[in-house]
């Protein structure tokens, strides 16, 4: 397996003062943009940097390559405890939900497991119709526990049951029908649609965007605060179980 790059999340700002867009681009090809400790730390830093910049109006999260995010870094999960990691993913979702600026995700390629939590936490998610999603935790003796905080808030109950219990792959078009993403467009129109939505968002006044987002996400924040610790404890326990460790080791062996 190739070495990890020095920087896993690239930060860039485009646009004019007061109407700028901060782009956070996941770029960790060695593990398919998995949620490693380094990547999560850099994503936190990028979000906080955007929040502190008065010139930034909107945050856009995307990824290099054919995978947006493959979920938890199973090599880290199988070799060490996940107690800190599960809490950090809860905190990451809460940061996205409570950020004073709209957060948009651009989705092409594959989105798996924990990566879907980032999608669900974001305010607007725009996917290519042929992007693929899967809540694969059930296949490894795990549960979509920490990301259920946001995912089950977005998806219809029937869709959540189907995708969580089955672990099956579904498309961007299906993700839109399920309520997970805002809209799905043909892959060749993805950038145009992302640009259109971001251009609309930056016309909002900072106070209007901030207060509107707080109203929209009030119930979701309450859900995270009420159940986040419980879900982190459950996820940590499942990652440490013999059944999950055996399944993760087998999965990693097949991928090498």
Residues 6+ apart with CB under 8 A from 249: 78
Q: Which pLDDT score is estimated for 97?
A: 98
Q: For 179-208, how does the pLDDT look when each residue is reduced to its tens digit (9 = 90+)?
A: 999 999 999 999 999 999 999 999 999 999
Conformation bin of residue 218: beta by default, left when phi > 0, alpha when psi is -120 to 50: alpha
Rounded Cα distance, 114 and 70, in Å: 7
Rounded Cα distance, 160 and 96, in Å: 21
Q: What is the pTM of this model?
A: 0.95
- The strand pairing partners of 22, in sequence order, are 13, 59
9's tokens: 């999340």
Give CA angle at 162 (245, 226), nearest 5°.
70
* Nearest of 65, 54, 60 to residue 11 by alpha carbon: 60
Rounded Cα distance, 198 and 223, in Å: 27
Full pLDDT tens readout for the chain, 256 residues: 456 569 999 999 999 777 899 999 999 999 999 999 999 999 999 999 999 999 999 999 999 999 999 999 988 887 767 889 999 999 999 999 999 999 999 999 999 999 999 999 999 999 999 999 999 999 999 999 999 999 999 999 999 999 999 999 999 999 999 999 999 999 999 999 999 999 999 999 999 999 999 999 999 999 999 999 999 999 999 999 999 999 988 888 876 5
* Nearest of 12, 11, 132, 154 to residue 70 by alpha carbon: 132
Cβ(87)–Cβ(145) below 8 Å: no
Cα torsion 213, 219, 221, 224: sign: negative
User: Would you tell me how many other CB atoms lie within 10 Å of the CB of residue 254?
Assistant: 7
């Amino acid at each position: 397996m190739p070495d990890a790059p020095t920087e896993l999340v690239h930060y860039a700002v485009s646009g004019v003062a007061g109407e700028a867009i901060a782009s956070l681009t996941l770029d960790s090809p060695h593990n398919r943009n998995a949620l490693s400790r380094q990547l999560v730390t850099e994503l936190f830093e990028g979000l906080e940097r955007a929040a502190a910049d008065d010139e930034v109006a909107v945050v856009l999260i995307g990824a290099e390559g054919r995978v947006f995010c493959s979920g938890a870094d199973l090599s880290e999960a199988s070799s060490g405890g996940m107690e800190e990691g599960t809490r950090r993913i809860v905190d990451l979702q809460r940061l996205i939900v409570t950020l004073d600026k709209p957060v948009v995700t651009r989705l092409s390629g594959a989105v798996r497991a924990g990566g879907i939590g980032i999608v669900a936490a974001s305010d607007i998610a725009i996917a290519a119709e042929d992007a693929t999603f899967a809540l694969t935790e059930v296949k490894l003796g795990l549960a979509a526990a920490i990301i259920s905080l946001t995912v089950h808030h977005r998806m219809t109950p029937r869709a959540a049951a189907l995708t969580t219990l089955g672990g099956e792959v579904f498309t961007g078009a299906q993700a839109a029908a399920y309520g997970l993403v805002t809209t799905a467009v043909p892959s060749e129109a993805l950038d145009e649609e992302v640009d259109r939505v971001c251009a609309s968002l930056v016309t909002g006044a900072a106070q209007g965007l901030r207060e509107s987002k707080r109203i929209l996400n009030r119930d979701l924040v309450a859900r995270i605060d009420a159940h986040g610790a419980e879900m982190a404890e459950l996820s940590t326990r499942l990652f440490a179980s013999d059944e999950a460790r055996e399944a993760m080791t087998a999965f990693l062996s097949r991928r090498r």
